[in-house]
Amino acid sequence: MRRLSWERLFLVVVDFASIWASTWLTWFLRFRSGLFTEPEPFQLPLAAYLVLSLFWLAIFALRGQYRKLYHVSRYRAVQEVAASVLVGLILLFVITLEPGRPALSASRLLLLSYGLVLAAGAGTGRVLFRTVQKRLLERGLGQRATLVVGSGERARQLLEQFRLHPGMGYRVVARVRPPGQGEVAGLSAADGGLDELEPLIRERQVVEVVVTEPERELLFEVIQRATRQGADVLIVPDLYDLVLGNLKAFDIWGMPVIQVFPHLMAPWQFLLKRGLDLGAGLLLGLAGLPLLLILPPLIHWQSPGAPALFRQRRVGRGGREFTLLKFRTLHPAEHVAMLHADTVATLESGAPPPVTEHDPRLTPLGRVLRRYRVDEWPQVWNVLRGQMSLVGPRPEQKALVDEYIRRWPLYARRHNVRPGLTGWAQVRQRYDQSLTRLEDKLSLDLFYLENMSLGLDLRILLYTVRTVLRGAGR
């Protein structure tokens, strides 16, 4: 807790410096840079800088921005800063309201420009803070002492994730085995049973307890014991726990009812999402027109006798099928056989064989196209036609969809929205490699459906741009 207090204090210092610098920069640009003709009305005193800095720090604190030091991405941190600045600007507009003066007076415009500079400055400060924090966590500095409750496959997978991604900030110092459960292969010996939970939290200064076996009785006992010692509790849900966690309650004439799978986006947001699809789709289509001149001859050269565009029927919104377009990346002689073999393998095992980076079925050009996701550019046409969206679950073939729905009835929920060029599952997970990976992907798709927002779409698009620039496509 002492370390958390120091980190919180450092974040406050970063915000204070960012606010101070943004205030000075706004005043400098407006009155001293020579960009505007208005003379400087007076020199802004240091007391004004101090009062404004304390005002914004209070806004940040009241909105809970110093409550969570972890589980906040850089993108989310910038979002929170922008929202806090908007709230503060509204308060300042109300406080400085003068009857009889025009709404867009010079002072109002100065206040608006101040908000924009402040959002950029404080957001940059937060990004730097989170970046430094992540780098330190990756080196083992500042990681949170974590205790894992579980002995099954999910516990093993969770511990593996913590090991592979130290930047998440979890340092597992103990593991507790729930009563009546045996150990799976790949797990080290547990430090004790549930009775040892509280002593382990005290002795090893555990900050967070992660439960991977979310049975109701076990959860209640773990939460009671852990919170009594001041530790936070996180729960790793399974697929159907996600459904139970996404219920919405309201009443009909005093009778409480529960709505399952509510739409979290308002109709106007869906319309705006479609407008963004059309606008961005047109820009991408125009920017990529040279590809239609350059790539087809190259593809024909490496795949003689085969069309440059690969067409395949996929399932879209409402279960309707459409023809998905891609640039061809595989040798045509093996393509038909591969599609049949993949479909059969998927129906039998639940997982299509992945096309790896060094797959012999790939043409040399196809390998490059996949790495930078250029092969998916023709799907812009699917977006413009309304068959797809820029962001959404990836579409699948009809035979695979039928099998997935048979195994996981919740899979049909993916067809409540348009499939996407990119999606949450695509930026958070690599190719499906096993039945478990497919189930994980469905969990990510359900997360997206229950948290759909324009902000989340923008975040996914930024992740996708990063993947393309890094050449880390599949």
Lowest-pLDDT range of 352-356, 361-365, 368-372, 412-416: 352-356
Q: Nearest CA to 376 among 366, 385, 386?
A: 366
Task: Taking each helix axis as running N to C, give the angle between helix 398-407 and helix 332-349, from 0 to 180 degrees, rounded to the nearest 10.
Answer: 20
| pLDDT class of 201 with cuts at 50, 70, 90 | very high
Q: H helices of 209-310, where?
A: 216-228, 239-244, 267-287, 289-302
Task: List all residues 6 or more positions away from 108 whose beta carbon is below 8 Å from its beta carbon.
Answer: 93, 102
Residue 239 has pLDDT above 80, yes or no: no
Express as a percent the part of the chain with pLDDT over 70: 82
Map residue 45 onto helix, strand or coil. coil
Q: DSSP state, 184?
A: P
The strands making up 208-211's β-sheet, listed across from edge to edge, are 170-176, 144-149, 208-211, 232-235
Lowest-pLDDT range of 9-18, 241-250, 433-442: 241-250
| pLDDT class of 105 with cuts at 50, 70, 90 | low
> Distance between CA 469 and CA 373 in Å, rounded?
10
pLDDT for 256: 45
Q: 393-437, pLDDT tens digit by residue? A: 999 989 888 888 888 777 888 888 899 999 988 887 654 444 456
Task: List all residues 6 or more positions away from 225 whose beta carbon is below 8 Å from its beta carbon.
Answer: 194, 197, 198, 201
> Distance between CA 406 and CA 203 in Å, rounded?
48
Amino acid, res. 231: A
Q: What is the model's pTM?
A: 0.69
Q: 45-72, pLDDT tens digit by residue? A: 889 899 999 999 999 988 888 877 777 7
Lowest-pLDDT range of 30-44, 117-131, 454-468: 30-44
Per-residue tokens: 174 = 């103990």
pLDDT for 125: 94
| pLDDT class of 450 with cuts at 50, 70, 90 | confident
Q: Specify the higher pLDDT residue, 176 or 220.
A: 176
Per-residue tokens: 43 = 């020199």
Q: Nearest CA to 424 among 458, 375, 388, 470?
A: 458
Distance of CA 374 to the CA centre of its chain: 22
Instruction: Calculate mean pLDDT across residues 188-201.
Output: 90
Q: Which long-range contacts (CB under 8 A, 24 or more apart) does 13-16 make?
A: 14/125, 14/126, 14/128, 14/129, 15/56, 15/57, 15/60, 15/122, 15/125, 15/126, 16/53, 16/57
Domains along the chain with CATH numbers: 2-138 (no CATH), 144-236 (3.40.50.20), 267-470 (no CATH)
| pLDDT class of 129 with cuts at 50, 70, 90 | very high
Instruction: Calculate mean pLDDT across residues 304-327.
Output: 90
| pLDDT class of 120 with cuts at 50, 70, 90 | very high
Instruction: Calculate mean pLDDT across residues 160-180.
Output: 87
Q: What is the mean pLDDT of the chain?
A: 81
> Distance between CA 196 and CA 382 in Å, rounded?
57
